[in-house]
Amino acid sequence: MWIEKGRILNTLAFKMSHRLIWDATSTSESHLIRSLRDREIDVFAWGGNDIPEWCKDEHGGVLPGMKYIVTLRANLSSLAQSLRIQHGPKGNQFYQLDYDVFIHFDGKELRARLQWNENGVLWEGPAKVIPSWS
């Protein structure tokens, strides 16, 4: 996730959608729960003109012009029970989890929340903000 060049940060409200996918034929329920326990999302600021699609290159290195700002951490393990096997166009089976991250900065404090839809009901939960200096 990144914040583009020129955005004023006196007050900032930002939404970023995320999707996690696992192969259903090789992923156990216990693995799903473990992988959802401490999900982390790094937030970057972009200093360039044209906004790139990615923050990191194929080797995991941060792209030139990106500056790391903060990490968000949330426990999504309670969502594992609502995951259902889905079928792709070629018959492959997978689990998919879609959720949104909301970031709000009011000039003093950065806060984050998660939001997801579970069986037609919109749920919300906390995300911990871990500053870059910790």
DSSP one-letter string for 29-97: HHHHHHHHHTEEEEEEEE-SSSPPS-SB-TTSPBPTTEEEEEEEEE--GGGGGG---EE-TTS-EEEEE
What pLDDT, in 10s, does the model give residues 54-79? Answer: 888 899 898 888 888 889 999 888 77
Give the number of domains in the chain.
1
Is residue 90 very low, low, confident or very high in pLDDT (cuts 50, 70, 90)? very high
Q: Which residues pair with 20 in a beta bridge?
A: 97
What pLDDT, in 10s, does the model give residues 6-55? Answer: 655 556 778 888 888 999 989 888 888 888 888 888 888 877 778 788 88
82: tokens are: 């609502």
Domain that holds residue 93: 2-131
